[in-house]
Every structure is written in C-alpha cells, then in structure tokens.
Structure 1
Amino acid sequence: MSPLPIDQMKNELVDHTPFPSFFINLQGDLLESNNWSEVYFGYTADDFAQNSLRNSLFASVHEEAWNVILTSEQAIRFNNLQLVMSNGNLIDVSLFTKRCLFNDEQALFVMSIPLDAVHTMGDNYQELIDLRNGIQSSFMTVTLDHEGFIVNGNQHFLKTSHWTPKRVVGKTFWRLFPETPDSEKMAQTIWKTLNNGQIWQGEVEKVTKNGESYWVYLTAIPTIGTKSEDTRFILIEKDITKEKTIQLQLEKIAFIDAQTGLMNVHRLESVITDMIAEGRHFSFVYLSIDKFYTIKDLHDQEVENGLIVEFTKRMKMYFQDSTMARINEHEFVVITPLPEWFIQGFLNYLQQHPIYNDNIAIPLAISGGISRYPEDQSTFLQLMKASLATIATVREAGGNNIASLSRATHKTLNRQAVIEKRLLLALNQQNLQVLYQPQMDLQTGKITTVEALVRWTDEEIGVVSPDELIPVAEETGLINRIGAFMLEKACEQAVAWHHAGIHVKVSINSSVREFRDKNMAKSILETLEKTNCPAQLIQIEITEKFALEAEGETSIINQMRQLEEKGIVFVLDDFGTGYASFRYMQLLPIEILKIDQTFISSLTKSEKTQRLIDGMIQLGKSMNLTVLAEGVETEEQKSLLESYGCDSIQGYYLSKPVEWEEIERLYKAR
C-alpha cells in the first residue's frame, strides 16, 4: 500500500483529530505536530526542538518497540504504551503509526490516545481496565521481559526507587536488589519461581538508584506468551518500609530472635564488646548449616521452621552455660570457655540426636570456625571475619567439620588488617609507585604500549604484592582511589613520552566496581582533560569477570562505549581463565584480547596447549581483534606465537616491570 500524500494526511488526521498527533522522519526526528501535544503531555514545539522525541516523550519506550515504530512499513497499533510527560510523570496511551510522505520524503504519522481520555465499552474488558488502573494507582509495578530486563515501571515505582524512565528501562531485575549474598539468593529464588510459571509472594529488601534500602511486599506474577520471548513478568509491590523499620528497631531494642529465643547479632556485638573490655578469655564458635537452601527446597515452610527450632534445642543442650546467638537464617555463634575437642564433639552429638521429619532423619551437616580471644583476634568484627575465613576453608575441604583458625589464616588476616590501615595513609601521601612493562609488536619489533602496574613498599610492613593489595582495596572500597591515582599518573607519563617523541600507549587495569559508579566515564574524561592527555594514548584492561558482569549492566556498557567514542581502547585481560562468552565479546567495545600467562608458561611443553593458543589467536583474528600474549619469557615462545599470527607480546622476554626511565631506554634501543 503506497503512503498517503502529506496534504491529505494533514487534513484528515492532524487538523481534525482531538488527540496528540505528529509527523516524524524515519530517524525519529519531529517534523510537525498539532496543539494537543501540549494539552495532554505538556510539551511545546520548542521543547521538542531542544530535546529529541526519543529522549523526552518516548524516553520510557523500550528500544525494541522504538525500532518497530521507525521501521514498520505497515500501520501498527500499540496498546497500553507508557510515555513520559514534561513533568516526568508517565501516561498510558494507545499509539497508532502509519507510513506517509512529508515533502516528498518517507515519514511516519503518529497519533497517541491517552487512555484516561476515552471510555472503553464492554463489561469484561472494562473490568480488566478498571482492575489494572486500580493496581497502577495503588501499588508500585514493574514489568520484566523474558530475560529479566526491565521493560517499564509505573509512577509509584519511579518515585520510590528514584529512577527515571530513561535510566531504568533496560536494567536487569537483579539491579533492584542489594549486593549481598542473602539478597542475591532471594532474587534467584524469585526468578526461579517465575520461570517455573508460579507466583512468588513475600517481603523483599530492595535498593533505590542511589543504593538506599527500602522494603516491599512483593507479588511477582508470570504471564506466559506463546513464544518464550513474549513472556512477561509483572512485579506488584507495596511499600512496607515504615513497618519494616519499626520491626527492625524493635528487634534491635529487644535483642532477641523471636523464633529461637537466642540473642541476635546486635546484642551479641554488645556482649562481646563488654567481655573484651573485662579482659575475659573465650572461644568464638561460628556454626553454619551446610546446604541450608537445598534443605529448604526439599521441605515445606513448617519443616524448615521446625529444623531451626530443633537445631537450637540441641545447641542449648550441648553448650550449656554458654552464650549463644542467631546471626541469620542458618548461622549461629556460641561464646564458650570450653576446649576445642569438646566443641568439635558437637558434630557427633548431632549424629546421635538427629532431627526428624515424618520419622526420617534430615541429613544435617555443619561447618564451623573457632577463633579465640585474645590469642587470635581482638575485636568483634575481627572474630567474625576470622571465623568466616575458617568456615570457607572447611567448606573447600568438603564441609561438616569444625576447625580452629589456622596459623596461616591468622597471619594473613592480621596482615590484611595492617594493610588496610596503611593503605589509606599511602593514598593520602601518594606513596604508591607506578612501574611499566613494555609490549612489543611482533611485525615491527617496536615497543608500542606499556602496562602501568601499581607497586607498594611500606616503611612498616615492607613490600605489598598486587595479589595482597587489590583484594584489600576492593573489599574496603579503596580500589576507586587507587584506580584514580593510576589513571592520573599514566596520563601524565603518556603525555611526557609523547612530547619526548616516544610514541607508546599506556594501559591501565580497571575493576567492575569502579565502573558501577555512574560517573566513571566522566571522571576518566576529566582526568584526560586535566592532564592534556589525548584519549588515543590510553587503554583500559578489564577481566573476563568484569566483562561477564558488565554484560547485564547497560549503564556500564554505555560508559564503555562513551569512552570508546573518545578514542580509548579496551583490552580483555587474562583471556581464557574466566567465563569466556561470545555474547559479551559482541556487546562490549573490546579491541584487544590478552592471552593469560598461565597458557604461555606451558606453550613449549604441551602440544595441546599449542593447539589451544593457536585456536585463541585465530578466534581473535576472526573477530578482527588484536591478540596480545603476556608472560612471554623465551625466544622459543616468542617464535611459536609469531608463527600462529599473534600480534604482540609482553613478558620478561622483553622486560620486567620497570621505571619510566628504563622504558625510554628500551624504546630507543629498538
């Protein structure tokens, strides 16, 4: 069907329609509109001239729907589409589009009918409309697609969560929850229930855009489509933050876990602090029920509650005259003067006194950690941390054991505590050092890039390796400050080399935690401007773990693309050691693959490794990526890589990490 001419369209559909109508070109730019856009939506023609339709009226429309509007050659209709008014509120409309000619050019006629401006006849359908409107006006609602990405959210949700339509559409379901193990498990349970076609209900802790907690009573409903991609999940939420806050405050005041009668963690911390102040010696025993969530899945709620109550009874019987607390759903602490051999006997006691369900013993395994005061640790938080580290070791060995803090773990934890204190001082005084390791182009034999590596030697604790420094920095949140320090130093050095005629790029490492800061790209660009460093001189290295997490975070992807547009190159570091995914290699702006040194170290010893590395290089080439191998130490390794078509190498074959002066000497020598 040929498009209608513009004059006929204007006369019939614009001048006489009582609803907002306009013409747009096939790129989505406004060509002409009637006066009803201001009446219903609050936008004037000048508003649309200053800000595109996509970023104003259609900001909450999913990208797929927007593309359908622009590309469909048939007349189409969208029911219950949400548009953004000039005041930021959402309005539900039915949208009609039709191809037409505007000044002899292909264009689209678009008419939107606000649903609150019309009345739909038909009792059954009207009941559904009234029900939907009632839910929308009384509850927060969020719609997810079949992959868990947010399609839209109503005004109540946006107001409570502090999101805007443009920012929240495309975020993942998991982005709405706190980044804690318990919340992640809860979100996974909800998602699993929905994908099984079942409704999930319960109290859930969520976070706003700014990371602030709020509580809702959630009803999650799956709506199954004929095709998997048509499936939608509706989240209906009632804000119970006030009630939950009062409940939590009462629990803190009472200091008692209602289900077990044990003190809670708030009371436990107070008790431990008093015992330490009195100089009393004790063992801090942290007990965790192994595979608790698997047990929950196998039994109903009543059995789960009975399990906790019965387990508590056995603890009280065995650890008589000891102080006990419930830390969370399945973890407990016992404060006792009893010796280690007696504490470990609790496992035998549980075997002799099993917990039954319908006359069948529930298989129960316990992992525990023992830390002593004052021999092992000296504060409540240190005792908690030490016990959890011990439990992690126990579980790695198979679980169902109660072990004391090992000397090695004790030494490691103490050193980590000192590193944490000294690192803050080192950052304030800029005592960190930057070394550079060169990378050579195998075709030209020239040094083209150097990797900037942080090094730290403290006057009190000596050399702190990156393997020690980075985990502590990430745990304490200081990784952002280290990243900012490294970027500034790298930019300054890159500019100095550039002015001296040494044409090398500088590559820095970055973490996903840094890029979760929505201002990360802005901060990087500001540093480039501050140091007068061209973006083309800087590369950013990310790990496969970073890439995997970034795959589901559109805000991170957008920041990476923003930096790529300015000229910054992204390198996928440690390739082959993590969670390789062709999907993120398509989504993320990666230009260089860096093969990890663990593969290179066995290159000359294993034909299997040789075939593997050859395959990695060919994979990179097939995707038009530059391939870099790190950890190259011998001429034989270099020759093999060269024969496979590897582009660049890095490693002790060229140089260990060195000062900037040595880089200049190496550059001029080649």
Structure 2
Amino acid sequence: MPSDRNMQDDESVVRMLERAAFVGVWRLDLRSGELSWSDQLAAIHGAPQGYAPPADDPLKHYSDGCRSKLEALFQACKTEGAPFDEESQIILLDGRRSWVRSLGQPVRDPEGKIVAVQGAVQEIAPRGLRPGTLLRMGAALGSGEAFATVDRNGSYTFLNEQAEQMLGAGSDQLIGRRFWNSFQKTVRLRLEEQFRSALARSVKLEFEQLDARLSHWYEVRGFPFGGGMAIHLRDVTARRKAQEQLRLLEGSIARLNDIVIITEAGPFSEPGPRIVFVNEAFERRTGYTRDEVIGKTPRLLQGPNTQRRALDQIRAALEEWRPARVDLINYKKNGEPFWVDLDVSPVWDKQRKLTHWVAVGRDVTERKLAEEKIQHLAFYDALTKLPNRQLLMDRLHAALADPARPREGALMFIDLDNFKVLNDTLGHQKGDVLLQLVAERLRSCVAKGDTVARLGGDEFVILLENRGDKPLDPAKGARAVAERILQALGEPYVLPGYLHHTTCSIGVTLFNKSDRTVSELLKQADLAMYQAKGAGRNTVCFFDPEMQAVVTANATLAADLRQAWRENQFHIDYQPQVGPDGRMTGVEALVRWHHPLRGVVPPDQFIPAAEETSLILPIGRWVLDTACAQLAAWEHRPDRRHLSIAVNVSVKQFRHPEFVDEVMQAIEQSGVQPHKLKLELTESLLADGIDVTIAKMGSLKDMGVTLSLDDFGIGYSSLSYLKRLPLDQLKIDREFVKDILTDSNDAAIAKTVIGLAHSLDLDVIAEGVETEEQRAFLERQGCHSYQGYLFCRPLPIEELEAFMDRLPAMEPTPA
C-alpha cells in the first residue's frame, strides 16, 4: 500500500473494507454469556449503533425458513467446533428482508476448550430482494466462474468455457447429458432428488459435496428458469480450507478478488475526489498501474457508453453520505469496456468524520453477456431472430395495459400458403431458408417500433401501434401494410438450387380502448386469417364479429354433440323406398338428434359438426350395426325379408382405414345377406383420391354389398370416373326433383341422370318425391323407384312396423 497523508494505518483500511463489503462482526462469550455486535453489523440489520439481540437468542433476526438450519450450525460450532458459512435471510427491524452470508468459527482457550464463538455477516443482496431474484438466469455468474443451463430433465443445454474446464469435457460431449452424472456415483442420486424437488417447488437448489476422486469440494446452485434451471458451479475447496485456517473477517478480505478503489472525501465538483488506493485486482482488470491512477479521479474509467443515470445515482447517494450500488460500464486502459457491479460506501473515523469513499467493484462482464444471451434465447426465435410468442405476448399486454400508450392499433396474423408442400417435397432445410427470407421481407414492410414475431411453423404475427401526434387510422394503416406484405411475399424466393413462389393469407383485427384481452385479439386475427384462406388464399381479411358468432355457435354445437353421444340422444328413423308397383323395396336409415333443449336438430346442422369432431365415426358405426340388426330381425318375417336398408356413409367414415373391416364385421355378426345392405356414398368422395375410393368400393362389392351413389349431379362426378365405379344404383338428388315440373334445367338434369343410369346398366332412384305429378314425370322418363313424402315420411321403427302392418301392399298415398 502506498504511503499517503490521507491514508490511515492498516487497521483503518480493514475497517474501510469492512464497510465497503457490508461486513459486520460479532462475538458470543460462552463463559459470560455476553454477545457483542459491531456497528456495521447493527447497520446491516437496520438498527442503531450499539444494538445487539439478546444473548440467549442471537439468531433472533433470521427468518423462519432459515433459522432452524442456522441454529443447528450454530449449536455444532459451540459444541463441536465446526465452522459454518451459510447464506440466509434476515428480517430487519423495520420488517424488511435482506439476504446475508453468515460465517462462524469457535474460539478456544490454551487447553483447547471452546470458550466463545465469533464470526461475520456480509450483506449479499439489497434489502428486500433475495439472491434468486437478482441472480436470475445466470446473474450469479461472476468473472471466471462456471455456468450452465439445464432443461427440466436435468440435461445440459449450455455450458460456458469455465464449466467445460471444471468438468473436464467440452460442450459437444456434455450437451444432452444429465448434469448430476458429472459427479461421483455416491452423490448422484441425492443431487437428482434435490434438483427435481427444487424444480417442482420453483425454489433455489443449493448443494455442496466433496468429490472424493479429486479431493475437491464443489458448490452447485440452481435457479429455476424457462422450465429448467440456470446452474452455477464453483470449486469451494479453498473456502472450506480457509474456514479451518483463517479468522473469518481476515479470511473474507484476503479472498476478495474484486476491484477496490479508495478515494479521499473531497468535494464532488470538478474534478472530484481523488484516488488514494487501488488493489492488485484493479491493476489486473483495468490495465492501469497504481502509479498511473493515484491522485487521479475515477473519471478516467468512464467512456462513451458509461451510463449517466448510474453516475447521477452514485452522486446523489454520496452527497447524502449514504452507500450506493449500481451496475456500471467502465473502460480499461486499452479502451475495452467492461461491466462492474459497484458498491460505494462512506468511511468515518472515530469522531464520525467522513474521511474516505471505498468502492468495491466485481467484474460482471461475463454475467452481463450471459444475461443477454439467455434473454435472447428466452424471447427470440432461433431460426428467424424475430421475437417469439413470449415476447409478443409481453408487448401485447403492454400495448393494452399501459395508460401512457395510445392502446390503438392492429394485430395481423400471417400464414404462408401451402408451406407444408415445400417441406414435404424439398425438405425442411429449404423450408427453413424460406422462413428466414420471409422474416426479412416482413421486417421491411413495417415501421420502426412495430413488432414482427414468429409464433412457430409458418405462422407470423405483426403488432402495429399508432405513434406520433397525428396517428394513422388503424384500418387504413393495416390495409396498407397488408398490401405491402402480399406484394413482398409474393415475389420469387431464391432457395439453394431452386426458385420458389409462394403467397400468404392475412387476418387482421383492430383494437382500441375496448376491454378485449390478448387472447381474444389473437383468436380474432386467427379467425380472419382462416377466412382469407377460405376466400382463395393470397388475400387479406379483417375480423368480422359474425365470424366469432359462427365459431362460438359451432363450438357449442360440438360440445352438445359429444354430450348427446354420451347420453344416447340419437335415434334412427326409416323412410320407405318403393318400386314401380308402389310396393316397398326397402328403407333408408336416417339418423336423428333430439336435443333436450334445442329440440330436433336438423341433420344438415349436426352432421358437418360430427364430421369436424370425428364423432361421425362412432355414430356411423352405430347406424351400420343397428341397420344390420334390423335386417336380421326382418329375416324372420316372410313379408319383410325382401326389404333392404340404405345407410348413408360420410366421406370421413369411408376414408377411415378400418371402414371395410367394420362393414364386414357388422354383416358377419348380424348374419344378414350382404346385398340387402345398401351403402349410399356421397358424390364428394370423387373429389380426390379416386384410386383409393375405387379400390375400397371394389372390396365392398366383392362382399356382395349394394352400392348407391347419393346426391348424384352435384358436380364432382365425371363420366370417366363413373364408368370405373362398381356401382349398383344412382340416386337423383331432391334438389332436382323439387322443381322438376317447373324448371327446365332440373327436368333436363333428371332426364340425363336416368338415361346415364340406363346406359351404364344401373338402377336409378329419385328422392324427395312429394307429388303424384312428380312421380308420373319420373316414370315417363324411365325412373321406377322412389322415395319421399308422397309415400311416407321418415318414421321410428315402431311406427314403421305399424305402418307396414296396415299397408302390406303399399300403394302411393298422400303424405
């Protein structure tokens, strides 16, 4: 230490360091029972000078969660001479809380008897905050210390260079391995148990263990983060040995590796207090020698990015003669910036005269870089570098909740058209390149300050907010941005070895001061995007409240449909089909839903919902089994065993891989003749997958099942397909029959279908026949099978049986 008129003796420097590091000392005499505290220790507890707790309760101010453990350590120190070093929480006299490092060691007389316990308390976090909050996501990482992150299974996801050196392996060997496997087998299970317990309770993990292989003590501290943990690894062998060999206060200062600067207590006007002492750590970390800085001011460490706000905070605190703590950017002699966690404290002499300022700074550059990296990993998409869902949600909440912001703007949901085709045909690597190019184009389409985020896959969201004195109308602004996006994303993309063209669909919802949640806005934009998809893609749609009403109604209907299936609310009505002589040839099975509150729900409402929810599969199987059971029952009635039952088959049901097997099983279990089961297939089956459709129909035909093409004439069929299908019958849709006498087009279509059926040697039946005139017209054209209210409405099986009993040889009768 240099000689200087403003410097005190070595004892004074120790006192300065004690104050700067927020360290207080204590001593409990076991013979007299007297407990003494230093003034600094009283200050740490927010107590006046001279304060000390009762000697019979020296741990009075420790919180309940820490006290029991510290009491055990304290007792072991008194009776067995075991030193301790523990981080604990204390309760200040005014009720606030602070985290401290508590150290203790025994004092023995010449005979080796423990006569006192003494120690030190160091404040390690500002009052009211626990370390886990301040050191979150690796903030505990100091210069040169080992740091890693693990997922919820304990597998490494990131390691810094110091962690690799400590564990003796590189990241390429460790990533994906469980971190407890880095330790000896005897402690792995206990470390795993403590990790899972801490993660489940979202509390800090603390673990210290001797590794017998290397005779080293290691400390493991974990802080819950992003579903996993940030892990801080430290070799604490030196600390363990120091506890055995050194006095606590002297040892803590001796191990201090932080920058220490002591200045005179001069005025704060230019040039400010001058430096009278720096330690070796200062020289190592800044590149300045003592001779170069003694007599200068700390301003020589400041540079272009040093935060003025932090400097003003220090100045304001020092002018009031109170400590200050900030994170500050300083500069080395070579101009390289570095971060320090700086504590500045006043030092008084015995007459309470301010003599010096002591600044203790820890180099936290690596911690800051780790924080930035973790921040980026947590809030940005790794592929496109755009904000991810979490950051988007944060900004949306801020836009809606901050009263200082305009709370007016637009939310845009963007989805690439046919992106899956690119991935499936050219591979995910080219798909990733396309997403990166899309991200760049989207950023170019918005103003600075607007948010472009990637939700995942090929889904992007843009948040547009009004700014300035004359904000643009949200609808006009969103429309202009959407048009730019459609044009930009529609330009060709140069992928590796391939020129690709794509488009996008955009959904937009506007928001203002109304009480809509973030979740509601996202749903509305998503709905509008699907509306744009339905409108033909490569377009933009704005959210319409009617969309929400339809979606809500469909969701309610789907929920009621599931309950209806559980509560057996469905039943089957049967409508007769008659031949040219007016006698019944069979019936069509029609599923009906009687809702306890809605009443009868029309099939055209609940069948699409059943298809969408996949309930059509169990419902269709139930109808099929019920129809076969009814056919089996009619086998015992000579007057009815000739009847067939037609069952409607949905597209989803037909395309299910097990449909053919289900039909075969229903026939075998009921024992019916296969040709009496008529499957009515919808014409939409022919829209795609025609080869698979034909193959399945062939399998059914081979069983002997009768196949009818329902709703013929809607528009999917072509003659080239029709002649390849193994059909038995064509069914003329009721829409053509309804106006067959008044609409020449309907009449022409009906004639064409009948003629086509005859040319292909197929039966033909017309549904929706309600008048004798309609039947007569169809008969003249060559159609001799009918179904409709002219003959009978759909009836439950009991009423149908009674109806057939009354009319064994049914003739056409009014509905």
TM-score, normalization by structure 2: 0.43
With over 3 angstroms needed to count, the CA separation of the structure-2 counterparts of 1:444 and 1:337, relative to structure 1, is farther
The answer to whether the Cα contact below 8 Å between 1:347 and 1:366 also exists between their aligned partners in 2 is no
Paired residues for 1:427-466 under 5 Å: 427-441=565-579, 443-466=580-603
SS in 1 for 2:702: helix
Match of 2:648 in 1: 509
Compute the displacement of 1:256 (Å).
4.8
Counterpart for residue 509 of structure 2: 370
* Corresponding residue number in structure 1 for 2:385: 261
Counterpart residue number, 1:345: 477
Using the TM superposition, give the Cα deviation of residue 593 of structure 1 relative to its aligned residue in structure 2, in angstroms. Answer: 0.3
2:698 to 549, 553, 561: 561
Deviations 1:34-67 (A, max 9, x none): xxxxxxxxxxxxxxxxxxxxxxxxxxxxxxxxxx
Whole-angstrom distance in 1 between the partners of 2:517 and 2:709: 41
Aligned partner of 2:618 in structure 1 is 481
The one-letter code matched in structure 2 to 1:287 is I
Partner of 1:518: 657
Tell me the equivalent position of 1:627: 764
Distance 1:399 1:631, change over 3 A: farther
Once the two structures are TM-superposed, the CA of residue 619 in structure 1 deviates from its matched residue by: 0.7
1:539 is aligned to 678
Kept in 2, the 8 Å contact 1:548–1:581? The answer is: no
Whichever residue aligns with residue 571 of structure 2, its letter is: Q
**C-alpha distance in structure 2 between counterparts of 1:567 and 1:410, whole Å:** 47
Deviations 1:204-239 (A, max 9, x none): xxxxxxxxxxxxxxxxxxxxxxxxxxxxxxxxxxxx
1:657 aligns to what?
794
For residues 164-195 of structure 1, give each alpha carbon's deviation from its aligned partner in whole angstroms, at most 9, with x where no partner exists: xxxxxxxxxxxxxxxxxxxxxxxxxxxxxxxx
SS at match of 1:649: strand
Q: What are the residue-to-residue correspondences of 1:6-25 with 2, within 5 Å?
A: none
Determine helix, strand or coil for the equivalent of 1:513: helix
Q: 1:324 aligns with which of 442, 446, 453?
A: 453
Which residue identity is paired with 2:746? T
Q: Counterparts of 1:109-148 in structure 2 under 5 Å?
A: none
- TM-aligned CA deviation for residue 434 of structure 1: 1.2
Q: Which residue of 1 aligns with 2:461?
A: 333
Aligned to 1:603: 740
Q: Does structure 2 retain, via aligned residues, the 8 Å contact 1:544–1:574?
A: yes
SS at match of 2:795: coil
TM superposition shift of 1:468:
2.5
* Structure 1 residues 595 and 253: alpha-carbon distance in aligned structure 2, compared to 1, 3 A threshold: farther
Q: Aligned with 1:325: secondary structure?
A: strand
Q: What is the aligned partner in structure 2 of residue 618 from structure 1?
A: 755
Q: Counterpart amino acid of 1:538?
A: L
CA contact (8 A) 1:617 1:645 kept: yes
- Secondary structure class of the residue paired with 1:345: helix
Query: Which shows bigger deviation, 348-357 or 635-644?
Result: 348-357
For the residue of structure 2 that corresponds to 1:633, the secondary structure is coil
RMSD of the TM alignment (CA)?
Answer: 4.7
The SS at the match of 1:475 is helix
Report the CA distance shift for 1:563/1:253 in structure 2 as closer, same or farther (over 3 A): farther
Cα distance in 2, alignment partners of residues 272 and 652 from structure 1: 61
User: Conserved in 1, the CA contact under 8 Å of 2:682 and 2:711?
Assistant: yes
The answer to whether the Cα contact below 8 Å between 2:505 and 2:532 also exists between their aligned partners in 1 is no
Supply the distance in 1 between the matched residues of 2:781 and 2:517 (Cα, whole angstroms): 53
The corresponding residue for 2:283 is none
User: Is the CA contact (8 Å cut-off) linking 2:680 and 2:707 kept in structure 1?
Assistant: yes
Amino acid corresponding to residue 413 of structure 2 in structure 1: Y
1:552 is paired with a residue whose SS is helix
| CA contact 1:439–1:449 (8 Å) conserved in 2 | yes
What 5-or-longer segments of structure 2 have no aligned partner? 1-375, 423-429, 493-500, 811-815
Cα-to-partner distance string for 1:516-564 (whole Å, 9 max, x where unaligned):
33332222222223334332321111112214445221xx544433332
Q: Deviations over 1:604-658 (max 9, x none)?
A: 1123332222121111011110011122222221111110001312223223322
Distance verdict in 2 for CA 1:637–1:498, change over 3 Å: same
- The one of 784, 789, 804 equivalent to 1:647 is 784
Pairing 1:389-400 to 2, within 5 Å after superposition? 389-392=530-533, 395=535, 400=539
Kept after mapping to 1: 8 A contact 2:570/2:591: yes
Matched, 1:287 2:414: yes
2:735 counterpart SS class: helix
Unaligned runs of 5+ in 1: 1-251
Q: CA deviation at 1:309?
A: 4.1
> Aligned runs of 1:205-354 on 2, under 5 Å?
256-257=380-381, 260-263=384-387, 285-288=412-415, 308-317=438-447, 320=449, 322=451, 324-325=453-454, 327-329=456-458, 331-334=459-462, 342-349=474-481
Helix, strand or coil at the partner of 1:652: coil
What is the alpha-carbon distance in structure 2 between the residues aligned to residue 469 and residue 487 of structure 1? 18
Residues 284-330 of structure 1: per-residue CA shift (max 9 Å, x gap): 532356899999xxxx9999779624531145427x3557335544x
Q: Is the 8 A contact 2:482 2:506 kept in 1?
A: no
SS of 1:433 mapped into structure 2: strand
- State the distance in 1 between where 2:625 and 2:568 align: 12
- Alpha-carbon distance between aligned partners in 2 of 1:616 and 1:440, rounded to the nearest angstrom: 19
Give 1:350 deviation, angstroms. 5.8
Which of 596, 601, 604 is 1:467 aligned to? Answer: 604
Inter-CA distance 391–417: structure 2 relative to 1 (3 Å threshold): same
Q: Helix, strand or coil for the counterpart of 1:590?
A: coil
The question of 1:386 aligning with 2:518 is answered: no
For 2:502 and 2:697, the matched residues in 1 are separated by 48
Corresponding residue for residue 690 of structure 2: 551
Separation in 2, partners of 1:653, 1:377: 56
Could you tell me whether the CA contact under 8 Å between 2:528 and 2:542 is conserved in 1? no
Q: Distance in 1 between matches of 2:680 and 2:755?
A: 21
Higher relative contact order (CA 8 A, sep 6+): 1
What SS is found at the alignment partner of 1:539? strand
- Structure 1 residues 427, 352: closer, same or farther in 2, change over 3 A? closer
Contact 1:287 1:368 (C-alpha < 8 Å) held by counterparts: yes
What are the equivalent positions in structure 2 for 1:71-110 lying under 5 Å apart? none
Provide the C-alpha distance between the structure 1 equivalents of 2:598 and 2:442, rounded to a whole number of angstroms.
44
- Matched with 1:423 is 561
Residues 288, 301 of structure 1: alpha-carbon distance in 2 compared, 3 angstrom cutoff:
closer
- Computing the radius of gyration over CA atoms, which structure comes out larger, 1 or 2? 2
Deviations 1:115-156 (A, max 9, x none): xxxxxxxxxxxxxxxxxxxxxxxxxxxxxxxxxxxxxxxxxx
TM-score, length of structure 1 as denominator length: 0.51
8 Å CA contact 2:577–2:787 kept in 1: the answer is yes
| Partners of 1:307 and 1:355 within 8 A in 2 | no
**Deviation (angstroms), 1:601:** 2.1
Partners of 2:384 and 2:436 within 8 A in 1: no
Given that 1:439 and 1:649 are in contact with CA atoms closer than 8 Å, whether structure 2 keeps it comes out as yes
Cα 1:328–1:663 change in 2 (3 A) is same
Cα distance in 1 for partners of 2:756, 2:790 equals: 25
Q: Cα offset for 1:392?
A: 4.3
Q: Is the 8 A contact 1:437 1:656 kept in 2?
A: yes
Deviating more after overlay: 347-356 vs 605-614: 347-356
Q: Distance in 2 between matches of 1:321 and 1:643?
A: 71
User: How has the CA–CA distance of structure 1 residues 616 and 376 changed in structure 2, closer, same or farther, with 3 Å as cutoff?
Assistant: farther
Gap change, CA 1:660 and 1:294, over 3 Å in 2: closer
Determine the C-alpha separation between the residues in 1 that align with 2:716 and 2:675: 29
Pair 1:417–1:271, CA change in 2 (3 A)? farther
Q: The residue matched to 2:691 in structure 1 has which SS?
A: coil
CA distance in 2, matches of 1:628, 1:350: 52
Give yes or no for the alignment of 1:402 onto 2:541: yes
Distance in 2, matches of 1:340 and 1:507, equals: 62
